[in-house]
Amino acid sequence: MDNDYWFRQKYWGYGTGLPLNWKGWAHLFVLLAGVLGGIYLIQHGLPARDRATALIVLAVFFVGPMVLLAWRKTEGGWRWRS
- How far apart CA 82 and CA 27 sit, in angstroms, is 26
Q: Is residue 57 assigned to a domain?
A: yes
Q: Is residue 12 assigned to a domain?
A: no
* Helices 64-72 and 22-45: angle between axes, nearest 10 degrees: 170
Q: Is residue 38 assigned to a domain?
A: yes
Determine the straight-line distance between the first and last CA of the chain, rounded to whole angstroms. Answer: 26
| Residue range of the domain that includes 54 | 20-72
DSSP state of 48: G
How far is CA 76 from its chain centroid? 18
Q: Is residue 80 assigned to a domain?
A: no
Q: Residue 76: helix, strand or coil by DSSP?
A: coil
31-42, pLDDT tens digit by residue?
999 999 999 999
DSSP state of 26: H
Q: Is residue 62 assigned to a domain?
A: yes
Q: Is residue 37 assigned to a domain?
A: yes
Q: Is residue 61 assigned to a domain?
A: yes
Give the total number of structural domains in the chain: 1
3-32, pLDDT tens digit by residue?
699 999 988 889 899 999 999 999 999 999
This model's pTM is above 0.85: no
Identify the pLDDT of residue 1.
46
Q: Is residue 32 assigned to a domain?
A: yes
